[in-house]
Structure 1
Amino acid sequence: MKPSNAAATGPALRVLSRQDLSRLSYRLQDVLDAVQGAYRAFASGASANPPKLSVKPQDGRSIAYAMLGRDGERETVAVKTSYKFGHEGEKADERYYTTLLLHDDRQGAPIALMDGSLVGSLRTPAATALIARACARSDARTALVVGSGVQGQTALPFLVEAMPQLQRLIVHGHHGAGIDAVLTRMQQHHPDRQVEVSGKLQRSAEDADIIIGAAGPSSPESVQAGWLRPGSLAILVGYGIDKKALHDADYRVATSAEQMKVTGQDLALDGRLPDVDAELPCLLSSLQKGRRSESDRVFAYNSGMVLTDIALGRVLAEQAIAQGLGQEVALW
C-alpha cells in the first residue's frame, strides 16, 4: 500500500483495483443482507436512486452510463459509471469498464474509487434470490437457471442461500466451460448440493417452480409462456424467457417500475408494457405482496438499482481497506 500524504494535502482516496478486490473473501449471507438493507432503506424514503444518464454515438460503437445514488442505511453517496465499447455482434472488439466512487455522507469524506465488476456480479444474483424468496410459492422446491454466463454461474448459490428448502437445482446452457463454472461455484458455496444439467429446456421449465432467465442476448432458446405452470415464478435478469411470459403473467414484479419502462422496452408487445403490481423494495419491507394466490404465475424483472451497488460497494471497500489493500491517492 502506498503511504498517504493526506494530512498535508487533504483527504485521501483509496483506489481499489480488480486485482485488489479479487483477494477478498465474502459470505453470501452478508451480500444478501447488504442488498436487502439497501432496498428496505429505499422503501422507507431514506435513499435516492435517480434515473441513469446514457450517451451513445450514432454508429453504436459504444454506450456509457452514469448513475448517482445515496444509500440511506449506510449514509453513503456514490457515482457508478459503466462504459462498453464494441460494435454490436463483434465480440472480439468488445471492452467493458465499470467504476464506483464512494463518499461517506456522515463525515463528508471520500471513501474509495473501485472497480465495479465484483459488486455488479454479486448484487444482481443477490437481488434475484431476494425476489425468489419474496415471490415464490411456499412449497417451491425446484429451480431452473437458463444461461451459464456470469449471472448464470452465481444465480444458484445465492438462491440456495436465500431458500435452503430448494431440493432440485437445474441449469440449462450451451457452453461447456460455463456449465462447468456453474457446478464449480455450487461446490464452493454449497458442497452438499448437486446441480442437474438440463438437456431439454421445455421439460425442465415445465418441472420448475422458479425459473431464472440469465442467458445472453445470443441465446438460441427461451422459455415460452405456455411452459410455465400455475404457481410458478419467472425472473428475468438478462435473456432466456420469452416476453409473452410477462404479458401473460397473473402478477408482475420489478425492482423498479420506472426503470423497467426505460431498460425493458425489448419486452414490449405492440409498443406496450403491462403495469407492474409490486416493486422489490416494498416487498422486502412487507408493504406489498409477492403474489395474490398460490396459483398465480408471477413474472419478475430484475434490472438492478444503483443503491444496491452503493451498499455492497461500501461493505467490500471497508473490508478491503481493513486488509490494507489498494493505494491511497491524494487528489485534493
Structure 2
Amino acid sequence: MTTPAANTPAPTADSSPHISAGDTTLRLLSTSDLAGIDITLTNVVDTVESAYRTLAAGRSDNPRKLTVKPADGHSVSYAMLGRDGSRDVVAVKTSYKHGLDKGRQEQHYYTALTLYDDVTGLPIAMMDCGRIGSLRTPAVSALLARECAAPGARSALVIGTGTQGRLAPPFLLTTLPGLDRLMLFGTHPEGIDAVRAQLHAHFPDRKLEVVTDVRAAAADADIVLATAGAHTPAAVEADALRPGALAILVGHGLAPSTLHRADRVVATSEAQMKVTGTDMADADGSLPAVDTEFPQVLAGTAPGRTAPEQRIFAYNSGLVVTDIALGHRFAQLAIEQGLGTRVPLWR
C-alpha cells in the first residue's frame, strides 16, 4: 500500500542508470514483490504526467491496443505495445479477464508487463501489472479532474468501490486539495469499508460521505468519477449533472447520454475509446467525435475546458506509455531493494 510517509523522490527521465545488469536473464517481479514497495501518490501522479507529456511531444509510441473477445462475452483479452522515449524503454502489456458473465468473486484477472532497455537491448523485468494499473488509472483520473474540472470545484462523487474506486478519493485530493466534499456510491459493504480505509491511510483528517441516491448525489457534484463494475445499478444520466460538471468514465456508472450530450469530450485516446467504449454508443452504434485528447491538454496545446458552464465528459482508457513509466519506476525501486527472481529464460 502507498503511504504518505514514503520518501520516494520524483522520477526524471535520467534519474538513474539503465537497470539491466548486462546479461539476458529476466528479473521476475511478483505481486508480493511489488506490494512491499513504498511510493507516494505524488510520485505516481508525476510519473504518469511525465509519460503523457513525452507522448504529446512525439517522443513516445502508443499504438492502438489489440482486443480479443469471444462471442458469448465471458472473457476479454488485451495486448498493448509501446515505447517511452524519455526512459528509452520498450514494453509489452497483456491483460486477460475471465468470468465477465459471473460475479466479482468468480472472475479471474491476470495482467503482466515486460520491460526492455532500448539502449542496451537487454531485458529489464517482467512483472505483475496489477498494482501498476491500480495506481496508474486513478492517477490519470485525478489529472483529468485537475485539468478539466470547473474552476473552484469543491465536490466529487465516486461511483464504485472496486480497485479503482478505492484509490480514487486520495488521488483526487492529491491533485485537487481544495475538494471539501467527497461522496461515494457503492453496493458492497466491504468495498465501502476499503474506500474509507484508503482515504484514512492517506488523508486521515478527511471524511467520506456514503450516499444511497446516486442521481441526487450527482446533481450535487462538480466531479463525477464512475469506476464501478458492469453489474452496478448506477447509470447517471446527462440531465442529472449540474452545469459545469465533469463526468469521468473509467468503468461503469454513467449512462451514454453523459457522453452524447456533453458540451465537450476529452479522451486519453480517441482510438482506444472506440475499442473499449462501445457500451457508450448510441442506438446506431456510434460514438461522438472527441474534441481533444488528454496528452495535448497536459502539454498545453489544447484546453481541457473552454467555458466554466460546460458539461465535460472525459474517457479514461489506459495508455501503455503510462504503464511503462510507472512499471519502470517500480522496477528501479525493486532492483535497488534486491527484489525479484532472476530467470535464465533465453538460455
Please name the residue that 1:296 is paired with: 310
SS in structure 2 at match of 1:191: coil
Relative contact order, CA 8 A, sep 6+: which one is greater?
Answer: 1
Shift of 1:331: 2.3
2:131 to 118, 135, 150: 118
Point out where structure 1 has 5 or more consecutive residues left out of the alignment.
1-5
Q: Tell me which amino acid in the other structure corresponds to 1:220.
A: P
Q: Deviations over 1:84-122 (max 9, x none)?
A: 223623555422111000011122211101001000111
How many angstroms apart in 1 are the aligned matches of 2:106 and 2:135? 26
Moved more, 270-279 or 178-187: 270-279
Shift in CA distance, 88/133, structure 1 to aligned 2, threshold 3 Å: same
2:5 counterpart residue number = none
Aligned position for 1:318:
332
Aligned counterpart in structure 2 of residue 31 of structure 1, from 20, 27, 44: 44
Q: Which residue of 1 aligns with 2:246?
A: 233
TM-fit CA distance, 1:64: 2.1
Q: 1:93 to 1:191 in 2, by over 3 A?
A: closer
- Counterpart for residue 259 of structure 1: 272
Matches within 5 A, 1:185-204: 185-204=198-217
Corresponding residue number in structure 1 for 2:288: 274
- Which residues in structure 2 correspond to 1:155-170 (within 5 Å)? 155-170=168-183
Q: What does the per-residue CA deviation read over 1:61-96, in whole Å, with 9 as the maximum and x for residues that have no partner? A: 533221110111211100001122236235554221
Corresponding residue number in structure 2 for 1:222? 235
- Residue 3 of structure 1 corresponds to none
Distance across 2 between alignment mates of 1:61 and 1:137:
39
C-alpha displacement at 1:55, in angstroms? 2.8
1:286 aligns with: 300
The structural deviation recorded for 1:127 is 0.4
Give the counterpart letter for 1:225 in structure 2: A
Q: Does 2:145 align with 1:132?
A: yes
| Residue 344 (structure 2) aligns with | 330
Describe the superposition over 1:165-187 as per-residue Cα deviations: whole angstroms up to 9, x where unpaired: 11111111111100111110001
CA positional deviation for 1:199:
2.4
Segments of structure 2 that go 5 or more residues without pairing to the other structure are 1-20
Per-residue CA distance 1:262-303 (angstroms, 9 max, x = gap): 111111112211111111100000010011100100010101
- Matched with 2:194 is 181
Which moves more between the two structures, 49-58 or 271-280? 49-58
Give the counterpart of 1:309 among 305, 323, 326. Answer: 323
Change (3 A) 1:281 1:78: same
Cα distance, 1:316 vs structure 2: 0.7
Seq. identity, %: 53
Cα distance between partner residues in 1 of 2:333 and 2:288? 42
Could you tell me how far apart the structure 1 residues matched to 2:145 and 2:100 are?
35
RMSD: 1.4
Q: Return the alpha-carbon distance in structure 2 between the equivalents of residues 115 and 327 of structure 1.
A: 13
Q: Secondary structure at the match of 1:118?
A: helix
TM-aligned CA deviation for residue 11 of structure 1: 2.4
Cα distance in 1 for partners of 2:276, 2:90 equals 23
